[in-house]
Amino acid sequence: MLSPELIIHYSIVAAIAFLILATVSSMCGKYRLATAGLFSFFLCCTLFFGLRAYLKQFFPFTDKVESFVTLSVLIALCGLCYRKRVSNKEFTALLFLALASAVTIFVFDDSIRYPTAYLRTFWYPLHVPLSFAAYAFWFLAGIHSLFEYREIKNGETAGSTHSLVTDLNRNGFIVFSLAMIFGGIWGYLAWGSYFMWDSKLLWSVILWMFYGNLLHIDSLPRLTKWKTPLYLLGIVIILVTFIGTGFFSRSIHKF
């Protein structure tokens, strides 16, 4: 009989295999196969999270492996929700990001650990998935802005750029604002403070202010030409906020 730990391992390997299938199928224009691959990926990830939650007796968002899988799922889910509003190339590019996030887990030594006391609050599992959902919206905004810019440069019509990119940013900004509120409440319960001079927190504020300002760029004609570079810069800031501060600094956020 397979142990839960072994089933967890097999489930994430199968999930990544299905995500690869979805990505390759999307590249080849086989939309139904890509959709089937994605739903199989979500199903395997549900098993992955469910077993880890059972073993931990807590929400499965408390270590690096779970963080990258969560981000991968939310990126893929965002792409699926906006699939009819973006091109197949954009959808495929987003799946590549989801795949890159998923395979990153093999860098870490995975073992089931009980979450520490300061993570055991209702506000923590609200904070983390919402943050990653905002990243997914902003990733797609950057990708869509880049592809639309290329179409405009080639003399093609791209009338949806302003509306969709701004809509994605607005959704991400709202979700990230909620994540920061929930994170502040969690921080107060865990450490007695809504804000601390931690690198992750500082970059999160920078990220929030950056995308908040980008919401107004459509009404500033002189800055419109900088829209695509700024949204691409936003992706860099996300990577610094998530990976740079979490794994290459002394931040308390090591998950």
Quick check: 160 pLDDT over 60? no
The pLDDT of residue 2 is 73
Quick check: 11 pLDDT over 70? yes
Give the residue-averaged pLDDT of 22-29.
95
Return mean pLDDT, the chain.
87
Residue 117's pLDDT band, with cuts at 50, 70 and 90, is: confident
Q: Report the C-alpha gap between 122 and 199 in whole angstroms.
A: 24
232 and 146 in contact (C-beta within 8 Å)?
yes
- Token pair listed for 243: 């990976």
Q: Report the C-alpha gap between 165 and 68 in whole angstroms.
A: 24
Q: Report the C-alpha gap between 12 and 31 in whole angstroms.
A: 23
Give the residue-averaged pLDDT of 28-47.
96
110 and 51 in contact (C-beta within 8 Å)?
no
Quick check: 65 pLDDT over 70? yes
Q: Report the C-alpha gap between 214 and 212 in whole angstroms.
A: 5
142 and 227 in contact (C-beta within 8 Å)?
no
Quick check: 192 pLDDT over 90? no
Give the residue-averaged pLDDT of 69-87.
95
Quick check: 243 pLDDT over 90? no
Say which residue, 117 or 58, is predicted with more confidence: 58
The pLDDT of residue 232 is 93
Quick check: 162 pLDDT over 70? no
- Token pair listed for 16: 């990544």
Q: Report the C-alpha gap between 240 and 69 in whole angstroms.
A: 18
Q: Which of 108-117, 126-135, 145-154, 224-233 has the highest mean pLDDT?
A: 126-135
How many residues are recorded in the chain?
A: 255
State the CB neighbour count (10 A cutoff) for residue 42.
16
State the CB neighbour count (10 A cutoff) for residue 222.
7
Give the residue-averaged pLDDT of 197-202.
79
The pLDDT of residue 255 is 55
The pLDDT of residue 155 is 53
Handedness of CA 227, 149, 238, 60 (dihedral sign): positive
The pLDDT of residue 251 is 54
The pLDDT of residue 49 is 95
Give the residue-averaged pLDDT of 199-204.
84
- Token pair listed for 170: 């607005």
Helix axes of 161-191 and 199-214: crossing angle, nearest 10 degrees: 150
The pLDDT of residue 225 is 81
Quick check: 153 pLDDT over 80? no
73-77, 114-118, 157-161, 177-181: which has the minimum mean pLDDT? 157-161
